Structure 1
Amino acid sequence: MSHSHRAGSGPDHQIRIGTTARTALLSGLGLVLVATLVGIVVWWPPGDTIERSAEAGGPAAQFAAPGVTFPTGTITEVSERCPGTGLPDGSGCSTLTLKVAGEAGPIQVQVPPEVIDSGLGAGDEVELLRTPAPPEAGEGASASYSYFATERNGTLLWLVLFFVVVVLAIARWRGLFGLIGLGFGGAVVWWWMLPALLNGSPGVGVALTGAAAIMFVVLYTTHGFSLRTSTALAGTILGIVLTAGIGVLAIGNARLTGISDEGGAILATFGSLDFQALLGCALVIAGLGVLNDVTITQASAVWELRAVSPQASRAEIFASAMRIGRDHIASTIYTIVFAYAGTGVILLMLLRVYDRPLLELLNTEQLAEEVIRTLVTSIGLVLAVPVTTAIAALIAAPVVPDEMAVDPAI
């Protein structure tokens, strides 16, 4: 059943909307929104999550221990690189001499040889980890310093500013709303998702809740409140659910541990974290961007096709939009594969020098994790295309004689 009238101009105002399909779509999104808000409240992390994690001990505790600070030191001298590829051997090579505020004399810290190779010189700044002397060391004991990171704020700042300028200059208001959505998404990940995961909340549940919250804000902020955007949102959420389900099944079936590098080993000291669930969470977050891309494209394609072919059947519109979707799928899969390959070049080089058959190397935790991550997000992406296209084709109904189109704004 449908009702319609013509209002305004442009495709969004020339589409006849199926009333039943619209009601089902908006009701479903309303239920998802309620479930998302409930998940955020239920899994809201307590304020002392990081402190309690540090109390668990292990290597990670030093970063959050009382009294630990991260002062900045200015390099006054750089020693020669230590021979070999290992860590400094205590002979004085691969050492930075630094001036640190509050210290009467120079401070020397040893660094990995590759830090020396990066081109550090006098006048550059590095971030240090300052650990106060333990109480049993006595009153005159001095704090110890170690290298933490090279100061890169200047480079990051001009890159961020350049990025913002380019986006605003070319995309204008759309770009501004996109940046706002990006900022919101980053805030949800940093201030809600990560503390909730550290608090021991279920990884996939947190991922689905956070992803839904991000998509509700990002899509409506960037593309406006309309049934076209709502269709893309529904397709994105269904794609996220499919990705999560396939990911959980694949991770369990492959017996992945979720700990494939030093960072995971450090986090393992924080307590009873479910690393398989955390890997499932990572799969969902990794697929968000490309899912959003293909779903909004498919919804827009259906709207444009319906605007130029108002009397075409839903099946015809679906078939035409899927031809667009297939091209998009092909190009986006390349994007996913090469994006993961680019981030894992060092790992791939290391595995390559093992001089073992590729099929045998696929059994290693590191490579298997990346392959499964790529395949799962790609499968979720591919399935989201027909799902979104079908929803859009149901919403954008064909015109019947003597009927006009309804304004789809919601």
Structure 2
Amino acid sequence: MNVLVVLAMILFGLMVLVGGKKGVKSFISLFINFGVILVMVFFMMDPNTNPIILTLMACISIVCVNLFYVNEVNGKTKMAFVSTIVTLIVLFLFIYFITSSAMIQGFGEEEIVELAPFSLLIGIDFVKISVSIVIISTVGAITDVAIAISSPMRELKVHNPNMSRKDLFTSGMRIGRDILGTDTNTLFFAFIGGYLALILLFKDLSYSIGEIVNSKIFVAEIVTILCASIGIAIIIPITSWINATYLTSKSYKP
């Protein structure tokens, strides 16, 4: 039996065992999100389309699947959705500026040998492609933080109906601070694990520290990690404020 099928079966079994019905939905959402990415890439191959618009549409679809399909439509998922979209809008302008300024678009010297037989004149703006890559890499992390803050804040309000907006915001920030360190470290180690071969290549080529930190491949990944970490830091106060405002408003119904 194919190794991928075996691993998928093990994952499915564990998700059902731990998460029950929600675990099944989470497993299915993996394939739905994969399908969204494939559709985005398919349309992105057309030079007449804007990769950034396609990416933002794909991100909204992914957020909807992760929040509304897996966790259903309720107050906490709605607030997490709003928080994620607001953060994405703020991050988009920042990411576009950083990506253009750092000139990380295109391919690095280490990749040119493999791409030498192919033409790079394909009519696609590589700056926009780089922006799309960073946004896609960021959306998962900030959605995770948004729901991780929204859910306990709602529970706090249910068990303490008289909590003020200020107290709820303070509680949300405390929850966010606990998440901040672990999530940023998760992103860092995901990079180390995914690009361990690249680090070994740098070692094999006897790159100096200066050459490593100026390598386009290395810088592109570090920029992605830093942008995702900035997104995590930004979404904590945004989610805390939005939830605190909603939970103390007249329209809120437990």
When normalised by structure 2's length, the TM-score is 0.90
Larger radius of gyration: 1
Report the Cα offset of residue 244 of structure 1: 2.6
Match of 1:171 in 2: 19
Whether the 8 Å contact between 2:87 and 2:231 is mirrored in structure 1 is yes
Report the Cα offset of residue 266 of structure 1: 7.3
**Candidates 57, 77, 84, aligned match of 1:229:** 77
Q: For residue 77 of structure 2, what is the amino acid of its counterpart? A: T
Whether the 8 Å contact between 1:258 and 1:275 is mirrored in structure 2 is yes
Match of 2:178 in 1: 327
Q: For residue 194 of structure 1, what is the amino acid of its counterpart? A: V
Report the Cα offset of residue 189 of structure 1: 1.0
Whether the 8 Å contact between 1:244 and 1:284 is mirrored in structure 2 is yes
Match of 1:159 in 2: 7
Match of 1:350 in 2: 201
Report the Cα offset of residue 407 of structure 1: 3.4
**Candidates 213, 221, 227, aligned match of 1:370:** 221
Distance 1:312 1:284 in 2: 36
Match of 1:198 in 2: 45
Distance 1:254 1:243 in 2: 16
Whether the 8 Å contact between 2:87 and 2:234 is mirrored in structure 1 is yes
Report the Cα offset of residue 289 of structure 1: 1.9
**1:312 is paired with a residue of what secondary structure?**
coil
Are 2:133 and 1:293 aligned? no
Distance 1:324 1:381 in 2: 13
| Map 1:1-400 → 2, pairs under 5 A | 154-190=2-38, 192-200=39-47, 201-260=49-108, 261=111, 269=120, 271-397=122-248
Fraction of identical pairs, as percent: 23
Q: 1:167-196 CA distances to partner (integer Å, 9 max, x unpaired)?
A: 111111111111232222111111x20011
Whether the 8 Å contact between 2:138 and 2:224 is mirrored in structure 1 is no
Report the Cα offset of residue 264 of structure 1: 6.9
Distance 1:407 1:186 in 2: 35
Whether the 8 Å contact between 1:244 and 1:283 is mirrored in structure 2 is no
Unpaired runs of at least 5, structure 1 = 1-152, 400-404
Q: 1:11-65 CA distances to partner (integer Å, 9 max, x unpaired)?
A: xxxxxxxxxxxxxxxxxxxxxxxxxxxxxxxxxxxxxxxxxxxxxxxxxxxxxxx
Distance 1:189 1:213 in 2: 10
Distance 2:226 2:41 in 1: 24
Q: For residue 66 of structure 2, what is the amino acid of its counterpart? A: V
Report the Cα offset of residue 357 of structure 1: 4.1
Query: As a proportion of its length, which structure holds more strand?
Result: 1
Residues 164 and 355 of structure 1: CA distance in aligned 2, closer, same or farther (over 3 Å)? same
Residues 222 and 384 of structure 1: CA distance in aligned 2, closer, same or farther (over 3 Å)? same
Report the Cα offset of residue 293 of structure 1: 1.1
Residues 384 and 159 of structure 1: CA distance in aligned 2, closer, same or farther (over 3 Å)? same
Unpaired runs of at least 5, structure 2 = none
Q: For residue 78 of structure 2, what is the amino acid of its counterpart? A: S
When normalised by structure 1's length, the TM-score is 0.57
Distance 1:231 1:247 in 2: 24
Report the Cα offset of residue 317 of structure 1: 1.0
**2:228 is paired with a residue of what secondary structure?**
helix
Whether the 8 Å contact between 1:305 and 1:321 is mirrored in structure 2 is no
**1:323 is paired with a residue of what secondary structure?**
helix
Distance 2:131 2:119 in 1: 16
**2:225 is paired with a residue of what secondary structure?**
helix
Whether the 8 Å contact between 1:243 and 1:380 is mirrored in structure 2 is yes
Report the Cα offset of residue 312 of structure 1: 2.2
More deviation in 261-270 or 318-327? Answer: 261-270
Report the Cα offset of residue 307 of structure 1: 2.0
Report the Cα offset of residue 159 of structure 1: 1.1
Whether the 8 Å contact between 1:207 and 1:284 is mirrored in structure 2 is yes
Report the Cα offset of residue 316 of structure 1: 1.3
RMSD: 2.2
Whether the 8 Å contact between 1:333 and 1:378 is mirrored in structure 2 is yes
Q: For residue 148 of structure 2, what is the amino acid of its counterpart? A: T
Report the Cα offset of residue 320 of structure 1: 1.4
**1:259 is paired with a residue of what secondary structure?**
coil
